[in-house]
Amino acid sequence: MSLLSTKHLLGINHITREDIELIFKTADNFKQVINRPIKKVPSLRDVTIANVFFENSTRTKISFELAEKRLSADLVNFSSSSSSVKKGETLIDTVNNILAMKVDMVVMRHPAPGAHQFLARHIDANIINAGDGTHEHPTQSLLDAFSLREKMGDLSNKKIVIVGDILHSRVALSNIYCLLKLGAKVRVCGPPTLLPKHVGSLGVEVSHNLAESLEWCDAANMLRIQLERQEDKYFPSLREYSQQYGVTIPILKSLSKEIVLMHPGPINRGVEITSEVADSEQSIILNQVENGVAIRMAVLYLLAGTSK
Ligand code: CP
């Protein structure tokens, strides 16, 4: 069995192109498995996984749980809102208590950037980052790139624009690292207030012009406006934002070619994209969600292999 170069999945910045290709190859196999009448394999029997979520989630949490069940792992779910974290228990104490119950892998979402790196220095289990604040969301970018590859083939020299709230987005940073490692050309587009000052130094193009960026790209990843992370006002109103940076059917029809539309979810319908765009033939949003299970099965399976 081929192995990943790392024991943990802390971020895409920490893994190689070969790791990404191996995850995709493994996910191709698992995608076949989950489309069979019997969707379960015994690969992670006797492996126990804790899903530890200090922030809300729909897609990522359900998708990890399903991936674990399809691999026959034992799983426990922890949500900070109904735990002793509310009584002041620290992250390290919380996780050590879970590990004392003989847990092998920890899937964690945490609001603090770098929380997973901190944990990896203190515990022995495999750690998978399911989102750390505004930093990285590695499995989201893997399923995004996997879905794009499925739709458009090899991503070398394909042009991908990431639109919107780049400043607060862990999806944006992981997508930038992942797509560049796969040889794609990447552009970020949004109002100046929502683009980090030095984002160009990551190797991406920077634009404030949506129409020109959509004409340039093969695929557009429309990010959610993260109002919950915005303490200041970054644009006058949602209405004005959607007029400048929202994608509508007339805008798509005005382009010289058909582009692919993505969104990591949850969608603010009518803000980043209209309902008609979200539900159109050009949208691969539900393919992204479907592929999330196969990608997470691949990550769990391959990381479990690094501990044997
Ligand atoms: N894309 C994503 O991370 O969605 P959730 O917050 O619902 O997990």
Q: What are phi and psi of 284, to 5 degrees?
A: -115, 25
Q: How far apart are CA 220 and CA 261, in angstroms?
A: 5
Rounded to the nearest whole angstrom, what is the distance from the C-alpha of residue 292 to the centroid of ligand 1? 11
The arrangement of strands across the sheet holding 159-163 comes to 205-207, 185-189, 159-163, 219-222, 260-262
| Residue 94 CB burial class (10 angstroms; 0-12, 13-18, ≥19) | middle
Rounded to the nearest whole angstrom, what is the distance from the C-alpha of residue 60 to the centroid of ligand 1? 5
End-to-end CA distance of the chain: 11
Fold (CATH) for 12-137+290-306: Rossmann fold (3.40.50)
- Which pLDDT score is estimated for 306? 79
Q: How many other CB atoms are there within 10 angstroms of residue 40's CB atom? A: 12
Residues of the chain with pLDDT under 70: 1, 227-232, 308
Domain with CATH 3.40.50.1370 in the chain: 12-137+290-306, 138-288
- The reply to whether ligand 1 has any atom less than 6 angstroms from the CB of 266 is yes
Rounded to the nearest whole angstrom, what is the distance from the C-alpha of residue 250 to the centroid of ligand 1? 28
- Which pLDDT score is estimated for 291? 98
- Which pLDDT score is estimated for 233? 80
CATH number of this structure's domain 138-288, picked from the four choices 3.30.1360.120, 3.40.1160.10, 3.40.50.1370, 3.90.1150.10 = 3.40.50.1370
- The reply to whether ligand 1 has any atom less than 6 angstroms from the CB of 14 is no
Which pair of tokens denotes residue 27? 């996910």
- Give the H or E element holding residue 295: helix 285-305
- Give the H or E element holding residue 74: strand 74-79
Report the atom number in ligand 1 closest to the C-alpha of 61.
8
**274-292 confidence digits (pLDDT tens):** 999 999 999 999 999 999 9
Q: How far apart are CA 167 and CA 197, in angstroms?
A: 9
